Structures are given as structure tokens and as C-alpha cells.
Structure 1
Amino acid sequence: MTTERRYDIDWLRVIAICLLVIYHIAIIFQPWAMFIGFIKSDELFLEGLWKPMTMLNVWRIPLLFYVSGMGLYFAMRKRNWKQLLLERTKRILLPFLFGIVAITTLHMFIFQLYYTMPLGYFPHQGHLWFLGNIFMYVLLLMPLFFYLKKNENGRFKKGLSTLMGNPAGPLMISLFFVLEAVVVKPQLFALYAETWHGFFLGLLAFFFGFLFVYSGKTFWQTVLKWRWLYIGLAAVLFGIRYFIYATEAPGYLTAIESNCWIFGVFGLGYNYLNKPSKTLSYLSQAAYPVYIIHMFVLYAGAFFILPLEIPISLKFIGIVAFTGAGCFLIYEFVLRRIRFLRPFFGLKWARKRMEKVQPSTSNLN
């Protein structure tokens, strides 16, 4: 299997998690925030902020599933199935289980304080549902992936590489996502958390993310060459979804739009982001712990900033700044430096003096 380092994949994972944090902060300023367990602003809502979010919310989570499948490919390069299972257990299952009992309970505690509710201890998956799904995908697909690894010079890989060399090849993958939407019939396409739709869509994205890297360079050359075609198609489909369907188009259309955005993003990333940097080295290590802790930091920001008598736009900016600074301080001065905490947040037990940029095998995959 290839040993090429793919810095763009790590960059896309970092960017996707940053978008996830912004997305979650935007929810606070929507009238329906409390219905999904978020602290809600009681002032005039920033509903205009939701317009760009409706474009992001159909591809931000599928992108992470794709990237996670790609990451598993790289993780398999020097591991047998026992080593891979042990490594995934340490890096995914352990933080998932720890997060259920010790992390998600924190933001629920802040929620109870904000609304002066009786305080209680409620272990739950919360935003960490993503990790539970990823670990299940590893268990389900690992036999097939190791079979493909063993037969990487066979007909399947050659046929897949040929298919991915055609601009219609990636688009054909969308047919599986269309079928998922038709069969599962999600109430909302972007309702991924703890739903069968989220599970099966994630499984497809994880599987094809692995296959895209497995197929070789042809996929990347295709999305690089045709990236503006995919982005153009996605923009047209978003326009249809926004103006005709009031942002909630039929699932089969949204599935195609979602994948077109993602293929365009892959092309842009491959063109502009596939290069090492010290910034990437740091952010790539920080992304997973920040994903785990960001919700209780975000809730803490809402707890202190929403009651202030300042314009609502400044409240949004303030919560963004509070969340970013809070996550950085906790990661840099607590999680990164206290050795026994590191495994619970997906970090390796021992911290190297000089953390070098790693290939796309890191944490959230």
C-alpha cells in the first residue's frame, strides 16, 4: 500500500471540526435550539446566520466519515488486524466510553444550571455518537478491508481505479447514498446523530473513503481536474433546495448535493493543502481532543455571555472566541501535558518532544 503522506486529508479533518464548532455555536441563536438540548438565546435570533449553515449541514458530517475511512486505510499500512483493533480500541472506544461518563455530563450540568433545573447526572453519547459509529464501522468492515489489502493488485482495484479516473465515477458513488435516503427516509437529511440514517450514511461514507484512497491516485486526479464541475453541480442543487424546497429537498437530491460538495472540497484540498507545516502538525494533534471537549466549553461560554447586555452579534462573536480560547487552553495546558489524561482524549500515552506531521492516521478516524 502507498506510503505517500497526505497532509490535505489531515487539513480537511481539522477544517471540518472547526466548522462543526461554529455550527454548534450557531444553533444557540436559533429558535429551536432547546428542542435538541442546546442552551438558547432568548433575544432576537440570528436566523440569517442559518442560511450558510443550511449549505454546510448536508456535507460537514459526511465529510468527516469519508476522512475517517481514509484514515483507516493509512492506519492499516503497518498493522495486522489484531494490532489495528487494539489501536482503534485505545484511540476511539476508550475516549468514547470515557466521554459518555465524564464529558457529555458536563455540558448537561451547565444546561441545568443555566435553566435552574434540578441538578442530575446523565451519562449519554451526546456529540460523541460519531465515535461510537466509527468504532462499529471498523468492526464491521475490517475483514473486508484486510481482504482488499491482501489483494491490492487484483481486478477489483484495477477496475475501481479505472472507474475513478472518469469524472462520472465519483458521481456514481452517490447512487448508494440516494438509495440510502430512499430506503431509510430520514425526516431531515442533516439529522445524523443517533439515527439509522446517520448510521447507514456514515457507513457508506466510511467505506467509500477507504476505497477512494485504496484506488490510488486516479480519484485524486479526477477530483482535482473536475473540482469546479462538482462545486458547480452542488451550488445548483443547493439553489434548488433553498429556493424551491425551503432548504429541505427530497433526500435523494440532497444526497447528490452532499457528495458534490465533498468531491469539490477534496479537489480543492488536494490542490492547495497537500503540504506539511508546523501549524498542521499542532492542529492535527489538537483536533480530536478539541472535538471531545468543545461542547462543554461552548455551553460555558453561552452561560456567561448570553446574559450580558450587549448586541446579539457580539454575543455570537464572544461565544466563538470563548470556545476557541477555552479549548486551546484546556488542550495545551491540561490534556497535552498531563500524561495520564492523554489516552482518554485520543492522544498517545507519551508525548514526543518534537511532534512531527503525521500521515492521515491521526485520531478522528
Structure 2
Amino acid sequence: MTTATTHLPDARRHDIDALRALAFLFVIVYHVGMYYVADWPWHLKSPHAADWLQWPMRVLNLWRMDLVFLISGVSLGFLSRGQGTWGLLRSRGVRLMLPLAFGMAVIVPYQAYAQGVANGMVAPGFGTFLLRYLSMAEPWPKRAFDGAEFGITWNHLWYLPYLFTYTALVALTLPLWNSAAGQWMRRRFNGLRGWKLLLLPVLPLLAWTMLLASHFPPTHNLVRDFHLHSLYFTMFLYGYWMGVDTGVWQELERLRRVSLALAVAVIATFIALRVGAKGPPSGLLMDALRMLYLWLAVATILGHGHRYLNRPWPWLRWANESVYPWYVLHQTLIIVGVTLLAPLALGPVLEPALLVALTLLGCWLLTDGLVRRSNWLRPLFGLKLRRRAAQPRQPASAEALPPEPGWRSPSPRA
């Protein structure tokens, strides 16, 4: 049985701002961890790779990108109230696909080069590599680097074409979502309360996993990634429905301790079954535990975020404009940091600490010192052009749009 829901006023959602910034900070830490976790393929691997890292990485991996896509859907929920189909496609196309093209041509190539050299399939000399990479005149050796079969790769930037695809799907079907049937579905979801909110959203995720997981392993190549698409788009749609509602956010806040306790219990059960099994366990029980933990973890984060982060933190305005450039830059800076630090043999404690520090420092220097200051570079990193002349400030309640990429209604988002 659903209850009536109300819509959010045009007040800034500081909790969503903060969660978005923190989610992408976790992405940076996760990608540093990928260099050190044993038996997980990545572009480069450390001689200090550790088996114990697999479990914390897996616990994080089960929900990290699902949370990001849900937050992206929340943004679209706000943004779609002020734009139609073609406005959404035009604005999102520029904000997502221009940084993708720039990143694939300028930011990502060093990752492919470093991996190809480490694999012994690319000759040293980045300039020569870059000319061949950009020209795509001849094929690369098989498995020279991730994406070598396509001649060019987007590596960590895969999130951008996925997000644009999901945005386009919703934008092209806006009449459906705005119809009586579409609004009924939104109300039914946002009207979930108590145990229904913690359990029912799991059912579509579990159904997709049972139907698709064994046939479509993750690829991040967009074309045949049907299992990940089913999960990510479902979470994106949940966020789109939730964005402008107040009741569902208040309920997630009310249930935050229950969802946290259940998430801990579910992941503990999952780990116990995995550790106790002779081989990797599979089947309905393990799929159910994974999907249940995914949703409970996201619900816990959203509930606690709404309770504790929904305030105008001093760092939030800076973080809102920095998060997109940091995302574009961070993985190449990790690879650069690896090539600088690995020859020094600093060990499994000092090296990763310095790698994280160098990555964060590089992101800050390049973003604050260069990207944000240049109107030539800002659109290439998903930022709006800076105004040439200062505009008189309006009262906060009258502001139509926050600084990019903010979260007022309507609110642009990358």
C-alpha cells in the first residue's frame, strides 16, 4: 500500500552534492587498489599485490558504480523538469560526449601506452605510440592493452557513454514517463515504506542477474554489456524517480540504521558462504545475497547522507566543480604515479600511500591551476564556460541554476 508523496522544493540538495563528490573519491581509491589487489586484471599490476585486498575491494565493488548511476538518475529527475527531449539530448551530449572524445584522444592514451610497454607489445616512445594510436592506421598486437582490438580505448571513461545512453533512453521516452502510467509507476516506487522499500527494489536486480549474468560477463564495451546495463539502468531509473520526491528520502533516512544492520548481516553471510565453499559458490542464494547487499548498501548511504550531509558544507561548491575534471584525470595520473614510484621499490605501505597522495595532488593542481581557469579547457572537462563579467548576486531563493554541476531544480549534471 503506497502513501502520498510530495515533491522537493527548489532548495539545493547538499546531500546529493556531497555523495556525488564522495562517490567519485571512492572511485579514485578503488582504482589505486586495483593496482595492488592480487589476481584481478588491471592495466598494470604491482609486485606487492595482496590477496587480502580482494574482500574489501569486492565489498566496495558490489555497489560503488550502482550508487553513481543512481545519483546520476537523481540529477536527471531534477533536470528533466526544465527541459524537453531535445534539450536534454543536446545539453547532455555536449557535457558527456565532448569530454569523452577529448579524454580518449588526450588523457587515456598514456594508460594504453604504459600497459602495452609493460606487456612487451609496444615499443618505448610515447610520441610514436600516440601518432599510431590516433591515426588508427594499423592494428595493435592482440591484448597489447585493454581495448587494443578497437584500436582506441576509453578505459575508465566508459561511465560517460553509458550515462549518455541511459539519459538518451529516458529523454526519448519522456512522454511515457510523463504519462499517467509512468507517473503511476513513479508514485508506486516512491510510496514504498518500511520493509517494502528495503526489499522490493531488489527483485528487478535479482531477475536481471538470474537471466543475464551467466551469458553476458562485464565488458565495459557498451555493445554487449547487457547484464551491467540491466543493473545500472535500473538504478539510474530508481534515481530518476526518487529525485524530486520528499517522502522516499525521509523514509530512507528513517530506515538508515535498519538498512545498515541488514547490509552488514547480508555481506557477512555472503563472505562466510564464499570462504566456506570449496569452489566459487553460485546459484539463486548467492545472487540474492549480492543484489540484496547492493540495494541495502545504497539505501544505507542515501539515508545517512540525507540525515548528516544535507547542509552547505564550505568545501561543497569547490567539490561540485572539481569532481568531473578529477574523474577524467585520475586514472592516467595513477598510471603516471606508478611509473614514477615503482622503480624506487618503496614497499607495500609507503608506495600506495604516496600513490594516493600524488594522484590527489595531481588532480588538484591540474584542475584548480589549469582546467577551471581556462575557458578553452572547461568544456573539455565537462564544465560550463566562465562568465566574463561578474553578475549581480541574487538572493539564494531566486537563483535558477547553481554553479556547474550543481543540484538545484533544474540542475545540470555530468
TM-score by length of 1: 0.89
Residue of structure 2 equivalent to 1:234: 263
Q: 1:306 aligns with which of 342, 346, 349?
A: 342
What's the CA shift for 1:140?
1.2
Secondary structure of the structure 1 residue equivalent to 2:37: coil
Residue of structure 1 equivalent to 2:196: 168
What's the CA shift for 1:58?
0.3
Q: Distance in 1 between matches of 2:219 and 2:78?
A: 26
* Cα distance, 1:186–1:300 mapped onto 2, change above 3 Å: farther
Q: 2:47 aligns with which of 35, 42, 46?
A: 42
2:75–2:243: 8 Å Cα contact kept in structure 1?
Answer: no
What's the CA shift for 1:206?
0.6
Residue of structure 1 equivalent to 2:145: none
Following superposition of structure 1 onto structure 2, how do residues 98-117 of structure 1 map, counting pairs within 5 Å? 98-113=102-117, 117=122
Task: Work out whether 1:293 is the aligned partner of 2:342.
Answer: no
1:26–1:50: 8 Å Cα contact kept in structure 2?
Answer: no
Task: Work out whether 1:94 is the aligned partner of 2:108.
Answer: no
Q: Distance in 1 between matches of 2:309 and 2:90?
A: 31
Q: Distance in 2 between matches of 1:39 and 1:161?
A: 43
Residue of structure 1 equivalent to 2:237: 207
Residues 123-178 of structure 1: per-residue CA shift (max 9 Å, x gap): 2121111111111111112244454347699654444443x234413420110000
Q: Distance in 2 between matches of 1:192 and 1:363?
A: 25
Residue of structure 2 equivalent to 1:32: 39
* Cα distance, 1:159–1:40 mapped onto 2, change above 3 Å: closer
Residue of structure 1 equivalent to 2:136: none
What's the CA shift for 1:299?
0.2
Secondary structure of the structure 1 residue equivalent to 2:45: coil
Residue of structure 1 equivalent to 2:373: 337
Which structure is higher in helix share?
1
Q: 1:348 aligns with which of 378, 381, 384?
A: 384
What's the CA shift for 1:336?
1.0
Q: Distance in 1 between matches of 2:50 and 2:333?
A: 21
Q: What runs of 5+ residues in structure 2 fail to find an aligned partner?
A: 1-6, 134-150, 392-401
Task: Work out whether 1:268 is the aligned partner of 2:308.
Answer: no
Residues 262-316 of structure 1: per-residue CA shift (max 9 Å, x gap): 0010000000011113301111111111111111100001111122132211101
User: Match for 1:297: what amino acid?
Assistant: L
Residue of structure 1 equivalent to 2:163: 134
Residue of structure 2 equivalent to 1:193: 220
Q: Distance in 1 between matches of 2:182 and 2:249?
A: 19
Q: Distance in 1 between matches of 2:119 and 2:188?
A: 58
Q: Distance in 2 between matches of 1:325 and 1:362?
A: 27
Residue of structure 2 equivalent to 1:245: 274
Percent of aligned pairs with the same amino acid: 24
More displaced stretch, 349-358 vs 4-13: 349-358
Q: Distance in 2 between matches of 1:107 and 1:160?
A: 42
User: Match for 2:252: what amino acid?
Assistant: V
TM-score by length of 2: 0.79
Q: 2:77 aligns with which of 62, 73, 76?
A: 73
Q: What runs of 5+ residues in structure 1 fail to find an aligned partner?
A: none
1:227–1:267: 8 Å Cα contact kept in structure 2?
Answer: yes
Task: Work out whether 1:118 is the aligned partner of 2:123.
Answer: yes
Q: Distance in 1 between matches of 2:190 and 2:232?
A: 23
Residues 28-49 of structure 1: per-residue CA shift (max 9 Å, x gap): 112335x33x211123x23333
* Cα distance, 1:66–1:240 mapped onto 2, change above 3 Å: same
* Cα distance, 1:305–1:314 mapped onto 2, change above 3 Å: same
* Cα distance, 1:192–1:265 mapped onto 2, change above 3 Å: farther
Q: Rg larger in 1 or in 2?
A: 2
Q: 2:250 aligns with which of 214, 221, 225?
A: 221
Residues 26-84 of structure 1: per-residue CA shift (max 9 Å, x gap): 11112335x33x211123x2333333222111000000010000011111232222222
Q: Distance in 2 between matches of 1:263 and 1:348?
A: 31
Q: Distance in 2 between matches of 1:39 and 1:221?
A: 44
Q: 1:52 aligns with which of 52, 56, 66?
A: 56
Q: Distance in 2 between matches of 1:84 and 1:314?
A: 46
* Cα distance, 1:270–1:145 mapped onto 2, change above 3 Å: farther
Say what the alpha-carbon RMSD is for the aligned residues: 2.6
1:127–1:193: 8 Å Cα contact kept in structure 2?
Answer: no
2:259–2:296: 8 Å Cα contact kept in structure 1?
Answer: yes
Q: 2:27 aligns with which of 20, 24, 39?
A: 20
Residues 315-365 of structure 1: per-residue CA shift (max 9 Å, x gap): 01010001000111111112111211111111112258698583263533x
Q: Distance in 2 between matches of 1:192 and 1:241?
A: 24
1:242–1:248: 8 Å Cα contact kept in structure 2?
Answer: no
How many pairs are equivalent?
358
